[in-house]
């Protein structure tokens, strides 16, 4: 047969031959009329057999649809009409269920043909294609299963549990042609919905996020038994399972556990809408569940590993010590933030090669040397050895400060015990080592300072201990009691700077410069500048050369303060590169300065104690002499009277005895008064008195002593009196002591003038003499007890040295002041007591007296 112009024609063949082929062909064929109802024109045995007819039954004139059981009437009529109209050929695939579970497929083809002797008629052929269609369906299902498994496989590489579970649910849904849900077992045993696919809204109540114990018992049983469970629809199913099947128009519920080596992670629940299922479908679902379980386990392990890695990274970053990690080729591959700070690197800066790092490390001398290449022990660790407690110093560049590291290193090995790298942990012990060094320095300094009371020698020795620990230079300037400056020998770390140190000591500061610096230096100070006070205190012409010689980089200035008084200055300076000062160094310097100041104060207190002891011995000798001197004439006259009691001699003896007894009594009274004033036990009896009369009485009392030395007493008193409030006896004592002291130290033919005047609201007296005068250095000590300008063998005048001290204290008890001036030896002196006459001062005096009475 061939097709021409849309008509299939039979090639040259006789009618008899065509009829024979047509009748005995195994393919069901029939020629039908070209118009509805498309009656049979001719049909072979195979075609008649479709409707259960035999050949002898005949079929001519019967509508074609009556001979094709279960024929799709509308479709077949439409095809016949289309072929008659348009010619050509069309095919219909028809399927029906012959018996339960068995589906038949046939292919109906309509062709516009022209058989011999029959004209142009539609030719219908019917072919049973059940086996072909079943093969195709099985192939499609196999492709679908492979597609589902491929979907799970693709998700396995993501290592994202959520994405992987979503893909697994989609694959399971593809297999069952219905909803699929994955539930995971929580640590507490509860179920949690982790993924779902094609789940309708009305099904959410039966597939909740967290199902209770009364739901999904099939799923729980599958998890418990670790086996796949398949349940068909029956009326006796639990409500939730029956609802899932009816709402999904499904026939099966299948629960597959997600099994791993560690246990069951959960289960996959599928609702099967597919009418015909094969064992391979359930096997594919088993594979989906198995791959999902493996992928989920891997994803969970990966997530746990990532969390552990993040935790370890966090721990590594938070470790305060430096951590170095190198690979087998000694490349530095990892360090933490402490290591980057030590290297001066930012978070994103590349790590330097270990070969560049090694020259920056230096092992200490002596017993502390423990590293071969001084590479934090990493080389030894790469050779399989463990290093512990190795000490080394580290400096990034030549000008950077030095850091001390205590390091330990160990090799990193794989499962086969091969060294694949090394790790080193370095603890920065710079501060600890510095603290230990400073503690040793302070201990040594303390031992040195207490070794001797020669504070200059001990301070010089202490300064030698501070270099080079606390500086390359140490200079100590002392401000003595007489305001002179003493610069102790300058200590230095470089022996080649000996001449510079000697010159620096020679060029020490003058007292004015040092006092000004001490006054302006309120506290400790650190200066990162070559312009240290060590140099700035020098004169301009000396400063440039010394700056060039010292090459200072930083300095530290500490005042020496003893009991609130600044007694000197201690300076430390750095000249070597890479060194500087920190607040901790300032604390050590402060401690040293405090101990040095205590040493200075202790030495001065010792000297004062020795001086006080000497003055005490001298005072006792003078006191013995002063007490014994009046007794000699008394004893002499007593002996004379005992031998020759002459009345004239008796009178003279009485005068001598009376005069000496009075002297002795006055001496005793002064001692008692001074003791009472010192202990605060003196009692004043204040009242209004006229100072004019009181001074006149004192002058009259002492005129005899002045006349005995032919000393002129010149008195100048104001007119009208000068009234103050005070104790007349004590004020008489003040003026008497001042006038008596002037007469005592004025030579014969000298002049003592007593002047009393009013200055504003104050009464001012001046007791001036032309006597021996006072040396300037002794002026501050004039009013000290038992202190006299002439001491030892130079003493010419008697007395205990308490008169002026008593006068000063009595004046202060009256809220007054007393001053002394002298132009020097041989120029005389002047004492000026001053007392206010105002009512407030009088009241204050009264109040003080009441308090102390």
Strands 252-260 and 263-272: antiparallel
Query: Which CATH number do you get for residue 212?
Result: 3.30.450.40
Task: Please indicate, yes or no, whether residues 281 and 422 belong to a single structural domain of this protein.
Answer: no
38 domain-assigned: yes
Task: Please indicate, yes or no, whether residues 389 and 466 belong to a single structural domain of this protein.
Answer: no
645 domain-assigned: no
Element housing 121 (H / E): strand 121-128
Task: Please indicate, yes or no, whether residues 536 and 475 belong to a single structural domain of this protein.
Answer: yes
Preceding omega of 468 cis (within 30 degrees of 0)? yes
Task: Please indicate, yes or no, whether residues 90 and 109 belong to a single structural domain of this protein.
Answer: yes
615 domain-assigned: no
Residue 311 has what pLDDT?
92
Task: Please indicate, yes or no, whether residues 587 and 671 belong to a single structural domain of this protein.
Answer: no
Tokens of 522: 């309120």
Low-confidence ranges of the chain (pLDDT < 50): 1-12, 365-373, 792-794, 839-853
Assign 3-state DSSP to the chain and report helix, strand, coil percentages, each to 5: 45, 25, 30
Element housing 840 (H / E): helix 839-852
Query: Which CATH number do you get for residue 348?
Result: 3.30.450.20
Tokens of 243: 């609802």
Sign of the dihedral through C-alpha 140, 144, 147, 149:
negative
Q: Distance between CA atoms of 531 and 30, rounded to whole angstroms?
A: 124
Q: Return the closest-CA partner of residue 430 out of 403, 460, 396.
A: 403
Q: Which residues in 318-431 belong to E strands, given as ranges?
A: 322-327, 332-335, 361-362, 387-394, 403-413, 419-428
SS3 of 425, please? strand
Q: Distance between CA atoms of 110 and 85, rounded to whole angstroms?
A: 12
Q: How many domains does the chain have?
A: 5
Cα–Cα separations (whole angstroms), residue 468 to 437, 471, 493, 573: 11, 5, 5, 10
Q: Which residues in 374-418 belong to E strands, given as ranges?
A: 387-394, 403-413
Model pTM? Answer: 0.47
Task: Please indicate, yes or no, whether residues 817 and 699 belong to a single structural domain of this protein.
Answer: yes
The residue assigned the tokens 């006792």 is 620
Task: Please indicate, yes or no, whether residues 286 and 168 belong to a single structural domain of this protein.
Answer: yes
Q: Return the closest-CA partner of residue 769 out of 827, 710, 728.
A: 827
Longest dimension (CA), the chain: 215
Task: Please indicate, yes or no, whether residues 664 and 805 belong to a single structural domain of this protein.
Answer: yes
618 domain-assigned: no
Element housing 479 (H / E): strand 473-479
Element housing 100 (H / E): none
48-51: Cβ within 8 A, 24+ apart: 50/126
Residue 485, φ and ψ in degrees, nearest 5:
-110, 135
314 domain-assigned: no
CA angle, residues 599, 603, 607, in degrees to nearest 5: 170
Query: Which CATH number do you get for residue 698?
Result: 3.30.565.10
pLDDT digits (tens, 9 = 90+) for 37-74: 888 888 888 888 887 777 667 778 888 888 887 778 77
Q: Distance between CA atoms of 571 and 589, rounded to whole angstroms?
A: 9
Task: Please indicate, yes or no, whether residues 563 and 469 belong to a single structural domain of this protein.
Answer: yes
Q: How many other C-beta atoms lie within 10 A of the C-beta of residue 269? A: 27
The CA dihedral of 257, 262, 265, 270, to the nearest 10 degrees, is -20
Domain end, chosen from 91, 106, 128, is at 128
Q: Distance between CA atoms of 744 and 248, rounded to whole angstroms?
A: 136
Task: Please indicate, yes or no, whether residues 811 and 690 belong to a single structural domain of this protein.
Answer: yes
Residues of the domain holding 114: 2-128
832 domain-assigned: yes
Q: Distance between CA atoms of 80 and 4, rounded to whole angstroms?
A: 19
Domain end, chosen from 98, 128, 158, is at 128
Contact 247, 239 (CB under 8 A): no
Q: Within 13 Å of residue 329, how many CA atoms lie on the same side as its CB?
A: 3
- List the alpha helices (DSSP H) in 645-802: 647-679, 691-708, 728-744
How far is C-alpha 21 from the geometric centre of its chain's CA atoms? 104
If you compute the radius of gyration of the chain from its CA atoms, what whole number of angstroms results?
A: 63
Residue 419 has what pLDDT?
93
Task: Please indicate, yes or no, whether residues 269 and 168 belong to a single structural domain of this protein.
Answer: yes
699 domain-assigned: yes
pLDDT digits (tens, 9 = 90+) for 383-413: 899 988 888 877 776 666 778 888 899 999 9
Q: Which residues in 248-294 belong to E strands, given as ranges?
A: 252-260, 263-272
Strands 712-716 and 751-759: parallel
Sign of the dihedral through C-alpha 526, 527, 528, 532:
negative
Q: Distance between CA atoms of 271 and 181, rounded to whole angstroms?
A: 9
Contact 291, 165 (CB under 8 A): no
599 domain-assigned: yes
Task: Please indicate, yes or no, whether residues 823 and 708 belong to a single structural domain of this protein.
Answer: yes
DSSP 781: G
Domain end, chosen from 83, 102, 128, is at 128
């Amino acid at each position: 047969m061939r097709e021409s112009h849309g008509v299939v024609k039979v090639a040259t063949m006789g009618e008899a031959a065509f009829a024979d082929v047509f009748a005995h062909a195994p393919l069901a064929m029939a020629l039908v009329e070209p118009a509805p109802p498309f009656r049979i024109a001719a049909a072979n045995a195979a075609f008649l057999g479709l409707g259960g007819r035999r050949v002898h039954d005949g079929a001519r004139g019967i509508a074609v649809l009556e001979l094709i059981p279960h024929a799709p009437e509308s479709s077949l009529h439409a095809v016949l009409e289309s072929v008659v109209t348009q010619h050509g050929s069309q095919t219909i695939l028809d399927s029906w269920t012959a018996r339960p579970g068995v589906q038949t497929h046939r292919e109906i083809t309509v062709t516009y043909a022209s058989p011999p002797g029959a004209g142009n008629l539609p030719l219908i052929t019917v072919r049973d294609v059940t086996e072909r269609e079943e093969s195709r369906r099985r192939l499609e299902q196999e492709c679908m299963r492979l597609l589902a498994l491929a979907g799970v496989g693709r998700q396995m590489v993501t290592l994202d549990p959520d994405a992987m579970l979503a893909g697994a649910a989609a694959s399971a849904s593809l297999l069952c042609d219905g909803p699929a849900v994955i539930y995971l077992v929580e640590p507490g045993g509860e179920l949690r919905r982790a993924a779902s696919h094609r789940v309708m809204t009305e099904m959410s109540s039966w597939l909740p996020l967290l199902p209770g114990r009364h739901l999904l018992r099939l799923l729980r049983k599958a998890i418990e038994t670790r086996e796949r469970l398949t349940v068909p629809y029956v009326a006796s199913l639990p409500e939730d399972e029956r609802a899932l099947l009816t709402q999904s128009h499904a026939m099966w519920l299948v629960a597959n556990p997600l099994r791993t080596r560690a246990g069951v992670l959960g289960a996959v629940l599928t609702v099967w809408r597919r009418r015909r299922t094969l064992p391979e479908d359930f096997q594919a679902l088993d594979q989906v569940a198995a791959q999902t379980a493996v992928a989920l386990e891997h994803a969970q392990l990966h997530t746990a590993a990532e969390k552990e890695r993040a935790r370890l990274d966090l721990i590594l970053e938070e470790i305060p010590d430096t951590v170095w990690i190198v690979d087998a080729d000694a490349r530095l591959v990892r360090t933490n933030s402490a290591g980057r700070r030590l290297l001066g690197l930012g978070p994103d800066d590349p790590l330097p090669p270990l070969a560049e790092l090694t020259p920056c490390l230096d092992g200490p001398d002596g017993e502390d040397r423990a590293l071969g290449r001084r590479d934090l022990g990493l080389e030894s660790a790469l050779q399989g050895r463990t290093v512990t407690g190795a000490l080394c110093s580290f400096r990034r560049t030549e000008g950077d400060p030095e850091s001390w590291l205590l390091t330990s290193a160990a090799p990193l090995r794989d499962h086969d015990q091969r060294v694949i790298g090394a790790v080193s942990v370095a603890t920065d012990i710079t501060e600890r080592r510095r603290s230990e060094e400073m503690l040793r320095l302070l201990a040594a300094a303390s031992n040195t300072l207490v070794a001797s009371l020669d504070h200059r020698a001990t301070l010089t020795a202490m300064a030698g201990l501070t270099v080079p620990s606390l500086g390359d230079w140490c200079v100590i300037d002392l401000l003595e009691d007489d305001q002179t400056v003493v610069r102790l020998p300058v200590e230095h770390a470089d022996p080649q700077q000996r001449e510079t140190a000697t010159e620096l000591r020679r060029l020490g500061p003058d007292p004015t410069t040092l006092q000004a610096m001490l006054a302006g230096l309120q506290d400790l100070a650190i200066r990162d500048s070559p312009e240290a006070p060590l140099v700035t205190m020098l004169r301009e012409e000396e400063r440039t050369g010394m700056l060039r010689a010292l090459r200072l980089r930083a300095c530290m200035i500490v005042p020496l303060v003893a009991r609130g008084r600044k007694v000197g200055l201690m300076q430390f300076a750095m000249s070597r590169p890479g060194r500087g000062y920190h607040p901790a160094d300032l604390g050590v310097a402060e401690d040293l300065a405090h101990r040095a100041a205590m040493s200075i104060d202790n030495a001065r207190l010792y000297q004062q104690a020795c001086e006080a002891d000497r003055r005490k011995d001298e005072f006792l000798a003078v006191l013995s002499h002063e007490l014994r001197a009046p007794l000699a004439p008394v004893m002499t006259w007593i002996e004379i009277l005992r031998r020759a009691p002459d009345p004239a001699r008796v009178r003279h003896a009485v005068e001598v005895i009376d005069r000496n007894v009075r002297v002795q009594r006055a001496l005793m009274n002064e001692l008692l008064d001074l003791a009472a004033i010192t202990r605060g036990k003196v009692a004043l009896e204040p009242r209004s008195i006229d100072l004019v009369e009181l001074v006149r009485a004192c002058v009259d009392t002492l005129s005899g002593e002045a006349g005995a030395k032919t000393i002129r007493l010149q008195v100048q008193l104001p007119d009208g009196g000068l009234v103050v409030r005070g104790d007349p006896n004590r004020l008489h004592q003040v003026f008497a002591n001042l006038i008596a002291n002037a007469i005592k130290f004025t030579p014969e033919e000298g002049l003592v003038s007593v002047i009393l005047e009013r200055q504003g609201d104050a009464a001012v007296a001046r007791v001036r003499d032309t006597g021996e005068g006072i040396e300037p250095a002794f002026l501050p000590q004039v009013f000290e007890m038992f202190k006299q300008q002439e001491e030892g063998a130079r003493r010419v005048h008697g007395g205990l040295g308490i008169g002026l001290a008593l006068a000063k204290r009595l004046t202060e008890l009256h809220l007054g002041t007393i001053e002394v001036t002298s132009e020097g030896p041989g120029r005389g002196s002047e004492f000026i007591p001053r007392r206010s006459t105002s009512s407030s001062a009088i009241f204050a005096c009264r109040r003080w007296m009441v308090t102390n009475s």
